[in-house]
Amino acid sequence: MHNTRQSYQPYTIRQRGAALFMALIFLLILTILGVFGMNISRLENLMAGNTQFQTTALNNAEYVLVRGENDISAIAASSGNPFNPDTAGDHYYPIGTTIASGTPPKRPEDLVWTFPSQKVSIPDFNGDGSDTDGDGTADDGVGFYIIEDAGLDNSAGEDASFTGTVNPLAGAIVQVFQVTAQSSSSRGAKRIVQSVLVTDPLTP
């Protein structure tokens, strides 16, 4: 009689390497999830930073705008009229002024100005001592404003009396101004804001 012997490898030997393969698969999956999570966190951080910079630029522009409005109040309280005649190189303009350079011509609403304008240093509110414009004084950035004279309104008004203040009587003839302010913050965030202010008519 002839006996045939068959050799079988144990189950554990036949499964050699499977655990390593599965571990590598799970490691790959975890790596992908980790990279994805890091990208999401980075994006959220950039979005939060962008919002902060845009808010700072808006706050700076509003601060500069108030400085421009104070400029008008000072003009109204004096006997001078810087708009008449128009002086080249200052920040006072007739309404609707454009700068011919560029296509189309630049207007106050444009983010990039070629207007001669009044520079304003933003106070160092955060106290970090930074000097943005390099003038030796700590600041939180710089801004610029211009003032446009829109002329008289209600020239055929019911009440031609003037109060002598920046709060004319209702119905009185008034001088109308438009203030345009621009400011920026980190990462190129820019804001332009405008306001309209009325006073008693300026001295011709």
Range of the domain at 166: 18-199
Residue 1 lies in a domain: no
Over the stretch 128-141, which tens digit does the pLDDT of each residue have?
Answer: 777 666 677 766 67
134/119 Cα distance (integer angstroms):
13
Residue 105 lies in a domain: yes
pLDDT on residue 156: 56
Residue 112 lies in a domain: yes
Please provide the DSSP assignment of 63-74 as one string: HHHHHHHHHHHH
122/141 Cα distance (integer angstroms):
5
Residue 5 lies in a domain: no
Residue 65 Cα to chain centre, angstroms: 13
Residue 12 lies in a domain: no
- Give me 187's structure tokens: 């990462």
The pTM of this model reads 0.69
Considering its fold, how many domains does the chain have in total?
A: 1
Residue 9 lies in a domain: no
Neighbour-count burial of 83, counting CB atoms closer than 10 A to its CB (0-12 exposed, 13-18 middle, 19+ buried): buried
Residue 7 lies in a domain: no
Residue 11 lies in a domain: no
User: Which amino acid, residue 80?
Assistant: G
β-strand pairing of 174-184 with 142-153: antiparallel
Other Cβ atoms less than 10 A from the Cβ of 9: the count is 9
Per-residue pLDDT of the chain (204 residues; tens, 9 = 90+): 556 555 555 555 555 667 788 888 889 999 999 999 898 888 888 888 788 888 888 888 999 999 999 999 888 777 778 887 778 888 999 888 888 766 678 888 887 788 889 888 888 776 777 766 667 776 667 889 999 998 887 655 444 454 445 555 666 778 889 999 998 876 778 899 999 988 888 876
